Amino acid sequence: MFFTVLTIFPEMFDSFWNHGIIRRAIEHNKIVASAVNIRNYAKDRHQVTDDRPYGGGSGMVMKPEPLAAAIRDTAKTLNGAKTVLLTPQGRVFDQKMARELASSDGLILVCGRYEGVDERICHDLIDYEISIGDYVLTGGELAGMIIIDAVTRLIPGALGGEDAAAKDSFSDDLLEHAHYTRPSNFEDQEVPEVLLSGHHQEIENWRLESSVMRTLLKRPDLLHKKNLSRQEREILGKWGREIERILDLYQNGKKGT
Ligand code: 4GX
């Protein structure tokens, strides 16, 4: 899979391409990645990429011609590429979209600066408008890195031996279980005993319970959307009964009075 980023700040990606999983994915030919300067496609002597907005007002707008030339020139060398514009007006990025994008041959990510890009770019030249969340950035570059990061780890072989974890059916819709490493006692806090027991099935059960209950407590909205397995429903039922038991003790005046 390939990623080509169109930006006026390609140097922002130098460090991004050269660390961790992204670097390894490039070295193992799982992805081909580059950042191209939109300025290279500006025809005038000063290679201007922005201009004042029609209708007046503050701020600048990215001119359509250099952007269109950059997108077309990139797309013609990359068959099957989808073009993505990073913008607060886009569909909000999530794991489902990451999976959808990971199934494409490649992405051309258009990173705007200033107040945005000339609207006429969007109609013919952009396949997806994507927002990484409801907040305002100073440019699309960090948003582009986030998309590339989330998509790359879904590419088969990109995570090395950990692919199964990324694809694990429940790992997408539930929060991760709690993690622990040595020492087994840290500042008077013990690691849950079952994790030291070597009982693989019990450890798996504990991890699912940890995932389900962390999701319920920290991100209940994720549970509302999810199709729950029998085991997940059993975990919620068990804790539901436990909560009811505690409330019953109060109602019967056996506690806290
Ligand atoms: N998720 N920004 C883009 C300029 C801009 C505006 C409109 C194209 C169209 C953002 C986000 C984000 C700020 C990046 C405005 N470019 N991008 N920039 N949230 O806030 O993706």
Residue 102 has pLDDT above 70, yes or no: yes
Question: Could you give the C-alpha distances from 232 to 5, 6, 31, 174, 212, in angstroms and in order?
Answer: 41, 44, 36, 10, 7
What mean pLDDT is reported for the chain?
Answer: 95
CA neighbor of 66 nearest in space, from 11, 129, 127, 121: 121
The residue whose CA has the least distance to atom 17 of ligand 1 is: 87
Q: Is 153 a catalytic residue?
A: yes
Q: What is the pLDDT of residue 253?
A: 80
Of 154, 141, 147, residue with least CA distance to 14: 141
How high is the pLDDT of residue 166?
54
Atom from ligand 1 closest to the CA of residue 133: 19
Cβ-based burial of 203 (10 A; exposed 0-12, middle 13-18, buried ≥19): middle
Q: What is the pLDDT of residues 41-66, one digit of tens each?
A: 999 999 999 999 999 999 999 999 99
- 142 alpha carbon to ligand 1 midpoint, in Å? 10
Provide the token pair at 148.
């590339």
Q: Is the CB of 139 under 6 A from ligand 1?
A: yes
Ligand 1 centroid–CA 113 distance in Å is 7
What pLDDT, in 10s, does the model give residues 112-126? 999 999 999 999 999
Question: Atom 9 (ligand 1): residue with closest C-alpha?
Answer: 116
Distance CA 117, CA 125 (A): 12
Give the residue-averaged pLDDT of 197-214: 98
User: Which pTM was predicted?
Assistant: 0.95
DSSP bridge pairs for 34:
4
- Taking alpha carbons only, the member of 6, 15, 58, 63 closest to residue 35 is 6
123-182 pLDDT, tens per residue?
999 999 999 999 999 999 999 999 999 999 999 999 987 655 454 544 668 999 999 999
Q: How many helices (H) and strands (E) does the chain have?
A: 10, 9
Cβ 130 vs Cβ 97: under 8 Å: yes
Cα–Cα separations (whole angstroms), residue 161 to 23, 120, 157, 158, 169? 16, 44, 8, 9, 17
Q: Give the pLDDT mean for 63-85.
A: 97
The predicted structure's pLDDT at residue 249: 94
Q: CA-CA distances (angstroms) from residue 100 to 105, 151, 158, 202, 226?
A: 11, 9, 17, 34, 18
Active site residue: 24, 39, 53, 88, which one?
88
The reported pLDDT for the residue numbered 171 is 60
What pLDDT does 169 receive?
46
**How far is the C-alpha of 239 from the C-alpha of 232, rounded, in Å?**
11
